[in-house]
Amino acid sequence: MDHGKQIVILDRGFVYVGEVVTDETWCTISNASNVRRWGTTKGLGELAAGGPTRNTVLDPAGTVRAPMSSVVAMLGCEVDKWAA
């Protein structure tokens, strides 16, 4: 299933943003960035809705594949706020 641009929270505290496709077993995040610093005052929901702030730190991560069992949550992003 294609989910589009999502912030994906994985177990052990890993947070990624990118284009997400899932199946029964895998969550694949293309054009992924690791969200090292949220840079928000209202959490990940603010980041998903408003895009990165000047205090957000994103580290390029390429393509990330994680087992679905490690996915804690996904937050849909406002795509126009994430345009580079």
> Is the residue at 29 inside a domain?
yes
> Is the residue at 84 inside a domain?
no
Which residues have CB under 8 Å from 53's CB, separation 6+? 39, 40, 47
> Is the residue at 7 inside a domain?
yes
- pLDDT tens per residue, the chain (84 residues)? 999 999 999 999 999 999 999 999 999 999 999 999 999 999 999 999 999 999 999 999 999 999 999 999 999 999 999 986
Query: What is the predicted pLDDT for the residue at 68?
Result: 98
Query: What is the predicted pLDDT for the residue at 5?
Result: 98
Quote the domain boundaries for residue 63: 2-79
> Is the residue at 14 inside a domain?
yes
Q: pTM (2 decimals)?
A: 0.95
> Is the residue at 24 inside a domain?
yes
Of the chain, the end-to-end C-alpha distance in Å amounts to: 25
Q: How far is CA 20 from CA 1, 44, 51, 55, 58, in A?
A: 8, 17, 17, 24, 17
Query: What is the predicted pLDDT for the residue at 78?
Result: 96
For residue 59, what is the domain's CATH number?
2.30.30.100
Number of independent structural domains in the chain = 1
Q: What angle do CA 40, 43, 45 make, to 5 degrees?
A: 110
